[in-house]
Structure 1
Amino acid sequence: MWTTQDQVVAAAVIVDAAGGVDPVGWQEKLDGLMARVAKRFGRVEPRRRARSFVERLLSDLPRKNCWTIAEHAGDATPDGMQHLLSRAVWDADEVRDDVRDVAVEQLGDTDAMLVVDETGDVKKGTCSAGVRRQYTGTAGRIENAQVGVFLTYATTIGHTLIDRELYLPRVWADDPDRCAEAGIPADIEFATKPELAALMLGRALDGGVPARWVAADEVYGGNPVLRAGLERRRVG
C-alpha cells in the first residue's frame, strides 16, 4: 500500500520520534496484519512461510523470485517458498478478501476510484498457466507471456492492489488436458479481459468497497457490457 505522505509502505510503517522507521513497531504492525489472514491456513507451517514470504516481498531486494526470496530468508533452497505457492493448502481468494478489507479500513473513501489494468510476465517456456505469444505492455510488443488483469483501489490518501485474475487464452481454455497438467481447475472457462474486469469490479462493489468511479483504458472502456453494468450500479 502506498500513500502520498509516504507514511504507509505496503502494510504499514511506524515512524519514530526522530522521523525514521521504527523496526519494532513495523514488525508489530505486520504481525497484526498477518494475524488477520491466519485462519485461511490449515497448518502453522504454511502460515509461517507466508509471513516470511510477505516480509521479503516488502524488502529492498532488487529482484524478487522464489530463489532470491528464499535466500534472503536464510533458506538453503527455494523448495519451501515454491511449495507455499504451488502445493500448500490455503485459500488465496479469502486472503484476497482480507487484504481488501484492510485496504478499505486504511484508505476507504466514498469518492474513491477503482482502476483496472493488465500487465504481463514474459516467460520462456510453454507450461506456465495461460502462457502464449500475446501482446504485453511489459515488453511493449508480442511476447511469450502470462497476462493478468488487476484491480487497484485509489483514493486521495493512497492506493493499493485489491484483486487479480489470470487471463486464460482460448487455446488454453479449450484444452482441458493442458489445463489439468498446469493445475488449472476444470470449471475455469474462457473469459475476455473486460469480463475479468467486470468480475473483479462486481466482487469489490458487492463486498462493500466504497467507490464513485472506475477508470481503465479503451480495452475496457470500449466494452458496452462492462459500461452498462457500471451504469446500473450508478458508478461513474
Structure 2
Amino acid sequence: MVQPRPAAPTVKFVDEYCQWYKSLFPDVRSFEAFKYLHVGCISDLKRKTLPEIAKIVGLDNQQGLHHFLTTSPWDIEKLRTLRLELILQVLKGRPIILIIDETGDKKKGSKTDYVKRQYIGNLGKTDNGIVAVTVYGVFCGMTFPLLFEVYKPRERLQAGDKYRTKPEIAAILIKKAT
C-alpha cells in the first residue's frame, strides 16, 4: 500500500493545532484545506474570502477550498465534538462562564439561505441579514467561541429544517457545551 504524502506545512502553531483533527479528514487534500482556512482566518486579510485565502496560502485558485467546504466527506459534528472535548481537557474541570450572543450580518438580496429582514444586534437595527446564536466560554479573562447555530426564520425554512426560536437554539447549545 502506498503511504499518502504528508500534508504541506503552514504556520507552525496552525500545523500543531490542526494535527489534533487530522483523523477526521479522509485524505491529505482535505486536511490541507482545513489548515489553509485556519491560516486565512488568522491572517490580516481585510476580506477573508476563499479567493483571498487561496492567494495568501499559495494556491492557484480557491477551488480546493470550496470543494472542502461543500463536498468533501468530513463530518462537522465530529469536528465540533472533538473541539469541545479538547477544550474540556484543557480546562480540567475548572468552571467557565458561558455567554450567549446573537450576531448578525447584513446581506443584500435574499439568495443566501436564511436571510430575512430581522433585527441585527450588532447593527442595532432591523435590516436584511442573517443571524447566528453563539455560545462563548470565558475563563481567566479569556473569551473563546464554543458553538454556534444559524437562526432559521420560519418563513425561510428548507426541507428537513425545524423552526426554533433564538432562546431555544441557545438552550440546545448550552446543553451541548456543558
Name the TM-score, length of structure 1 as normaliser: 0.65
2:163 to 166, 190, 193: 190
Amino acid at match of 2:160: D
Name the TM-score, length of structure 2 as normaliser: 0.85
RMSD: 2.0
* Count of aligned residue pairs for this structure pair: 169
**Structure 2 CA distance for aligned equivalents of residues 102 and 30 of structure 1:** 15
**Structure 2 CA distance for aligned equivalents of residues 150 and 30 of structure 1:** 23
Query: Does the 8 Å CA contact 1:107/1:158 hold for their aligned counterparts?
Result: no
Greater CA radius of gyration, 1 or 2?
A: 1
Amino acid at match of 2:88: V
Q: How do 1:1-236 residues align onto structure 2 when only pairs under 5 Å count?
A: 27=12, 29-107=13-91, 110-156=94-140, 158-173=142-157, 179=158, 186-205=159-178
Structure 2: runs of 5 or more not aligned: 1-8
Query: Does the 8 Å CA contact 2:14/2:38 hold for their aligned counterparts?
Result: no
Query: Does the 8 Å CA contact 1:107/1:159 hold for their aligned counterparts?
Result: no
Shift of 1:82: 2.0
Shift of 1:65: 1.7
Matched residue SS, 2:105: strand
Amino acid at match of 1:56: G
Query: Does the 8 Å CA contact 1:49/1:80 hold for their aligned counterparts?
Result: yes
Runs of 4 or more, structure 1, over 6 Å off, are none
- Identity percentage of aligned residues: 28
Matched residue SS, 2:101: strand
